Chain A
Amino acid sequence: AQSVTQLDSQVPVFEEAPVELRCNYSSSVSVYLFWYVQYPNQGLQLLLKYLSGSTLVKGINGFEAEFNKSQTSFHLRKPSVHISDTAEYFCAVSPVYSGASKIIFGSGTRLSIRP
């Protein structure tokens, strides 16, 4: 079985400051890793994904994440945030060769940007 822990339920930051949203996962098998963003009253949108290869993954809107296998982490970072980044962010995993895209989500981190 897989599980995802997002260590911070809320992260307040000032505009143009850097941010890191933390994610740890647990799995007995290899997994793919994802970050999704949910804006108010909308569904989830894929930010980035790690399937294999380079452990530093770049996504949309200037976000990037680094996969650390030894620490089973996949933290999301952005060097300078904007008001428009205010949203809920979800880390997710999917077992490799699961036969179905059963993606398991964390409980989310609410990013609030202060002007």
Chain B
Amino acid sequence: ETGVTQSPTHLIKTRGQQVTLRCSSQSGHNTVSWYQQALGQGPQFIFQYYREEENGRGNFPPRFSGLQFPNYSSELNVNALELDDSALYLCASSTPGTGNSPLHFGNGTRLTVT
């Protein structure tokens, strides 16, 4: 069973730039969620994708966008990077459910914005 993989593991960008983070979901999982974890805090829900459609969104501005592909892999795009976007970005896959499906997390991408 292949787990959730994220790439790259680390990334350094300059304020105002754009970034794309990638995630391959665990085998058999067709739902992908993205979380932002700032230093010393818990993960914050960004959005979730199911069957290539956005299926729930947290309190993040539109410059955070995503995609899900037919093979259930996913991308997180962030435009016009700000210093506060520096964080660990976590991808998690799950089976579709009514709130009871546990999340399987990747190890994250550490984004630093300078």
Q: Which chain A residues have a beta carbon within 8 Å of chain B's beta carbons?
A: 4, 31-32, 34, 36, 41-46, 49, 51, 90, 92, 94-108
Contact = CB atoms under 8 A, between A and B. Distances in A.
B100 A32 contact: yes
Contacts of B43: 44, 90, 105
B6 to A, nearest CB: 8
Contacts of A42: 107-108
Given A94-B99, A95-B99, A96-B100, A43 B41 contact: no
Interface stretch (B12-20, B50-58, B60-68, B77-85): B50-58
B105 A101 contact: no
B94 A44 contact: no
B16 to A, nearest CB: 28
Tell me the dominant secondary structure on chain B's binding face.
Answer: loop
A93 B58 CA distance: 15
A33 B102 CA distance: 10
Given A44-B43, A98-B56, 14 more contacts: A43-B108, A46-B103, A49-B102, A51-B100, A90-B43, A94-B99, A95-B99, A96-B98, A96-B99, A98-B99, A99-B55, A102-B99, A105-B35, A105-B43
B24 interface: no
Contact of A104 (B45, B50, B96): B45
A102 B45 contact: yes
Contacts of A95: 99
Nearest to A108: B42
A19 to B, nearest CB: 19
B4 A106 contact: no
Contacts of B2: none
